[in-house]
Amino acid sequence: MAAQPTIPRRCLFIGGGWREPSLGRRLPVVNPATEATIGDIPAATAEDVEIAVAAARDAFSRDGGRHWSRAPGAVRAKFLRAIAAKIKDRKSDLALLETLDSGKPLDETNADMDDVAACFEYYADLAESLDEKQRSPISLPMENFKSHILKEPIGVVGLITPWNYPLLMATWKVAPSLAAGCTAVLKPSELASLTCLELGAICMEVALPPGVLNIITGLGPEAGAPLSSHPHVDKVAFTGSTETGKRIMTAAAQMVKPVSLELGGKSPLIVFDDVDIDKAVEWAMFGVFANAGQVCSATSRLLLHEKIAKQFLDRLVAWAKNIKVSDPLEEGCRLGSVVSEEQYEKIKKFISTARSEGATILCGGARPQHLRRGFFIEPTIITDVSTSMQIWREEVFGPVICVKEFRTESEAVELANDTHYGLAGAVISNDEERCQRISKALHSGIVWINCSQPTFVQAPWGGNKRSGFGRELGEWGLDNYLTIKQVTKYCSDEPWGWYQPPSKL
């Protein structure tokens, strides 16, 4: 087991330095794998949001934006690369902090830190190439006019992020918004803020201009709500639950403030009868047991072709029972605890409701017997599910998969699309044409073929329906933080000639 670090005692990161929260309040940090309180984080309130937004506004327009918002992309890229380098230097201590904060296996948090660094580097490249894309001409049907576009940073952005990938989800917003030239106020989840506060320390070390990124931790209603309704915040980007997404959209609507929302999911994985069973079983497991299923894109509804269903489920149960469920710091752990007691109780309730509605808990469904403390839940497989059951319809955000069988391709697609959500979907089959047909038929923003979950910073990420709108990652992630201005010039020497000129007499 890795050595336990001391949890740094941080304040709010505002205007390039640490600042005590105005009301002096702090929130406990609980390690969900041990239930021990291991530190605390500052609890920001509306007063702090005011100061942070003012710092971001000042940084946006300081010296006419010469040092940040209107600086060459290469200037911003240098800072993003410096942040990436520091993340790499501190990879193992950041991964450890995140594991202690969230309960996810150390192998996962280490991989997440690699993704964090790669995301900062990717958007550094895009910041540089943004300058080349400026002034791109628009072809017009009248030759006495010329038009081009400018891509400009949208302004001060509020970034509200969840606890399931604490630093990575923050980075998916921080890196492109800073690359675009925005300045930002980040409000991470109160359930896992430690690594986001360390990002503040890293910003200080790389001498990021004060106020370009501000980090305020605290409760959603106390710190997130005043940020999303603040008149000087030009855009809000949010990842989290659909319920909170609706609140944020309502608050933003009062000021016609743009939002991008990445919300919940209930994504399907369709498995046909022409597959290698063990390979498909492993993807099914990765799709819903990685990060204990606390993934917005988790493929938590498994659709099995009736011909292989029995054999598949036998293998799935065997593989699931073989998962190492342990303290997330233990070598080889593949399932840690869930993030909090509340989440733990919520998942158990989902399982008991499924049982009372007539579903079968084929495997798991309870606390693993060898773990007496911590918010652990066994990998859980639920069968005999009907489409009216809660377990089929609602997002669990836990290591729980529900299973249905299908006979035909069209039946599989109908079941897959039987959800209010539309984030992701996956299909496993050796028939390439069928996979392409299904990719088109699924009502989701992401489709995986012959896998589930692999994510690349270059490819767009986001959902349809109640999973939200807007796309993160790739060049679409940068566009999220840019506004487009058309500049049109009249270039003829002739007068316009619409009105009669007045007499010169």
In whole angstroms, how close is the CB of 453 to ligand NAI at the nearest point? 13
Which range, of 17-25, 38-46, 217-225, 310-318, touches ligand NAI by CB under 6 A? 217-225
| Marked catalytic residue, from 108, 121, 222, 262 | 262
What is d(CA 23, CA 426) in angstroms, rounded to the nearest whole number?
Answer: 47
Binders of ligand NAI among 168-197, rule CB under 6 A?
Answer: 187-191
Q: What would the DSSP string read from start to end of 331-396?
A: TT--B---S-HHHHHHHHHHHHHHHHTT-EEEE--S--TT--SSS----EEEES--TTSHHHHS--
Q: Determine if 296 is a binding residue for ligand NAI (CB under 6 A).
A: yes
**Partner in contact with 455, chosen from ligand NM2, ligand NAI, none, beta carbon below 5 to 8 Å by kind:** ligand NM2
Q: Determine if 264 is a binding residue for ligand NAI (CB under 6 A).
A: yes
Any residues with CB less than 8 A from the CB of 363 and at least 6 apart, and which? Answer: 317, 320, 321, 378, 379, 380, 381
Is residue 255 within 8 Å of residue 233, measured between CB atoms? no
Binders of ligand NAI among 317-356, rule CB under 6 A?
Answer: 343, 346
What's at 434, amino acid-wise? R
Which positions lie near ligand NM2, rule CB under 6 A?
164-165, 169, 239, 295-297, 453, 455
The residue (of 217 and 429) whose beta carbon lies closer to ligand NAI is 217
The residue (of 228 and 260) whose beta carbon lies closer to ligand NAI is 228
**Partner in contact with 453, chosen from ligand NAI, ligand NM2, none, beta carbon below 5 to 8 Å by kind:** ligand NM2
Q: Determine if 225 is a binding residue for ligand NAI (CB under 6 A).
A: yes
If DSSP codes are grouped into helix, strand and coil, which group holds residue 150?
strand
Task: Tell whether the torsion through CA atoms of 410, 416, 421 and 423 is positive or negative.
Answer: negative
In whole angstroms, how close is the CB of 219 to ligand NAI at the nearest point? 6
In whole angstroms, how close is the CB of 416 to ligand NM2 at the nearest point? 19
Q: Determine if 7 is a binding residue for ligand NAI (CB under 6 A).
A: no
In whole angstroms, how close is the CB of 264 to ligand NAI at the nearest point? 5
Closest Cα partner for 266 from 465, 500, 411, 65? 465
409-416 and 432-441 helices, crossing angle to 10°: 40
User: Active-site residue 20, yes or no?
Assistant: no
Task: Tell whether the torsion through CA atoms of 113, 118, 123 and 128 is positive or negative.
Answer: positive
The residues with which 384 forms a beta bridge, in sequence order, are: none
What is d(CA 211, CA 17) in angstroms, rounded to the nearest whole number?
Answer: 9
Secondary structure letter of residue 500 according to DSSP: P
In whole angstroms, how close is the CB of 405 to ligand NM2 at the nearest point? 27
Q: Catalytic site residues?
A: 262
Positions that interact with ligand NAI (CB under 6 A): 160-164, 187-191, 220-221, 224-225, 228, 239-241, 244, 247-248, 263-264, 296, 343, 346, 395, 397
